[in-house]
Amino acid sequence: MNRKTPEWELYERVVARMLVDQLETDLCVTPNARIVGRVTGVRRQVDVLIEARHDTDNSRRLIVDAKRRARKIDVKDVESFRGLMEDVGATHGYLVSPAGYTKAAEKRAQAAVSIRILPLDHLKDFDPSTWPRCQRKGCKHGRVFWDGYPELTMVLQPLHASEPVHYPAVHYVGKCDRCGRFHVQCLVCNDILAPSEADNDCGHQCSCRPPWFWLASIEEDDDGYDSAELHACLMTGQVITVDRRSL
């Protein structure tokens, strides 16, 4: 069943999408993230979360608040955003709005917050309802937001040739924009897999039967904070973390 995506949600997703296109590939992007606050202990909603892709490392975390509305960003907006940043341990924040900001807001933002203007015309031709549906049972209206494109290589030894042949296999990796479940699409067979970070999920392999499988898990950083991580597990024993989201 299709539903009409609310404008504020479209605005959040377009901001997230643009960030994926602009950021280095060693950073991953999570739309509609939920992180337990370090100060409040309460789960906080974050419009867009940007963090290290390959490490269980939360020291470079950035967050984005996308405010789709007609009035300018004011001091109060900046202050509550700075409170959120502190609570979720973000080192820098971006406040994005189509309507600009007041002089006082700019002063209050200081070096920790960057205020950006993104006009609404970016929403034209932007349609998340064309993204794949979340495969988790019970997830309503979730769509898969791709934020990474890892390439893994199959090395095959042909019977009658001396040199092994390398077949690159490109994947999309990302997560549901509602429940956060990881998804992987193999671009050779087009299978979409949805590994769960629950303990009883032993991994997923696409129909190509490549020498790797996909596994999600919960990992703890040095300060005791958890993140969900998606790994490519190679038959050689190598494990590559390809996507993350803090919890």
Give residues in contact with Zn ion (CB under 5 A): 134, 136, 139, 142, 176, 178-179, 181, 186, 188-189, 206, 208
Count of other CB atoms within 10 angstroms of residue 211: 15
Residue 102 φ then ψ, to 5°: -85, 165
Nearer to Zn ion, 117 or 189 (CB): 189
Nearer to Zn ion, 44 or 141 (CB): 141
Nearer to Zn ion, 37 or 211 (CB): 211
Element (H, E) at 233: strand 226-234
CA distance 89 to 107: 22
Q: At its nearest, how many Å lie between Zn ion and the CB of residue 134? A: 3
Q: At its nearest, how many Å lie between Zn ion and the CB of residue 138? A: 8
Q: At its nearest, how many Å lie between Zn ion and the CB of residue 81? A: 26
How many C-alpha atoms does 176 have within 13 Å on its Cβ side? 21
Nearer to Zn ion, 55 or 191 (CB): 191
CA distance 14 to 11: 5
Amino acid symbol at 8:
W
Nearer to Zn ion, 155 or 189 (CB): 189
Structure tokens at 41: 């202990």
Element (H, E) at 7: helix 7-22
Q: At its nearest, how many Å lie between Zn ion and the CB of residue 146? A: 14
Q: At its nearest, how many Å lie between Zn ion and the CB of residue 18? A: 22
